Structure 1
């Protein structure tokens, strides 16, 4: 992309707002963070999920950007956990279909989209602001996860192929997403790799402030 188109893209982006879309399951014991249950037990795994989600929502709100909690089931039924953010249901389909639907709705509504989960405590407000700013000069921005997925995908344009036939929960998700972005001819800002909390081996990277919530767990 030449200098003049890039300047035009940046100028346009300054007039576009960004929406942070937080995708999360309701923190119900036995239904969330199931890969942590053998280590922590169902109740402690759910408490951890709730604590991480609350932290994520507070962090997202601290950016000053619009924040929407896309819940499964419908976040509008979650009560006080919503912490004053906008609420929506993820809807039907696999993860790719649900992510695509939210991204498309946001972008077609005139905003750029930051798609994140609720389980990466090291994703802070500075990361989110920087990702939003990256969309001033790039079509996409991505924070890979240490396990091969991603903890953040930001888009200023929509292409459903980024979400179709994706081997979710595998170590190929980030690499395939980057390949598909390149195949679309888009620019991407590839940012710092962060670690989300999915597996027992991830617990060692959990911030100390969150560990008291695991006091009833089985093996720590």
Structure 2
């Protein structure tokens, strides 16, 4: 166990019409929610199996059967994504790694590669220009608040903010978010043992019938 490490997943409850809306079309809102739930469940399973002092789900919505018992659930504050992430950082005292629900190909090895003995900050960039992981030895809401989110340069802006604060940043491997159907197909192919891959396979088979 990492005696002082907190792992945080920031996520939305997978409610049809409110998650993964860029999957529709070709998916229906219900199918998009199935993909979202699968991706979230995969992410939570990996975090649950990773040694840590504490595991937190910062959730917009209500927990469901997909939530492992080892998580503390904290409601997200209201506001834009940067404000919501900042709200999480304000509540974590020690070293933490925060991830979203969009990269079910996540592994424990990736999480534990955030070595705070070598660098005080770690960032995992996403192929779409965002970021999928943020690791901080000393969480500080001001390191995120005001960073433009959900734009093609979000990852670059977050990296610049960390560097402007004088932090040496380690870069994690770049991963692909599951936002669109081509994303879902690509991530399912790259991580065929995931619940996401099974959900994509089932939807593909149903569409072919």
Q: Which residue of 2 aligns with 1:124?
A: 107
C-alpha contact 2:110 2:172 (8 A) present in aligned 1: no
Bigger helix fraction: 1
1:96 correspondence with 2:77: no
Distance 2:207 2:65 in 1: 31
SS of 2:91's equivalent? helix
Which string of whole-angstrom CA distances, capped at 9 and with x for unpartnered residues, describes residues 68-96 of structure 1?
111102xxx32422211111101212111
1:16–1:112 contact (8 Å) kept in structure 2: no
Partner Cα distance (2:105, 2:203) in 1: 24
TM-score (normalizing by structure 2): 0.87
* Offset, 1:176: 0.8
Question: How many residues are treated as equivalent by the alignment?
Answer: 199
Give the Å deviation of 1:62: 0.9
User: Does residue 78 of structure 1 match 2:59?
Assistant: no
- Structure 1 position 67 matched with structure 2 position 55: yes
| Aligned-residue offset at 1:104 | 2.2
Pair 1:56-2:43 in alignment: yes
Which residue number corresponds to residue 7 of structure 2? 20
Greater Rg, structure 1 or structure 2?
A: 1
Query: Gaps (5+ residues) in structure 2?
Result: none
Given that 1:39 and 1:219 are in contact with CA atoms closer than 8 Å, whether structure 2 keeps it comes out as: no
Give me the whole-angstrom Cα distance separating, in 1, the residues matched to 2:82 and 2:29.
26
Q: State the match for 1:139 in structure 2.
A: 120
1:205 alignment partner in structure 2? 186
More moved, 160-169 vs 149-158: 160-169
Alpha-carbon distance between aligned partners in 1 of 2:44 and 2:118, rounded to the nearest angstrom: 26
Paired residue secondary structure (1:21): strand
**Structure 2 counterpart of 1:105, from 78, 88, 91:** 91
Assess if the C-alpha contact under 8 Å between 1:161 and 1:180 holds in 2: no
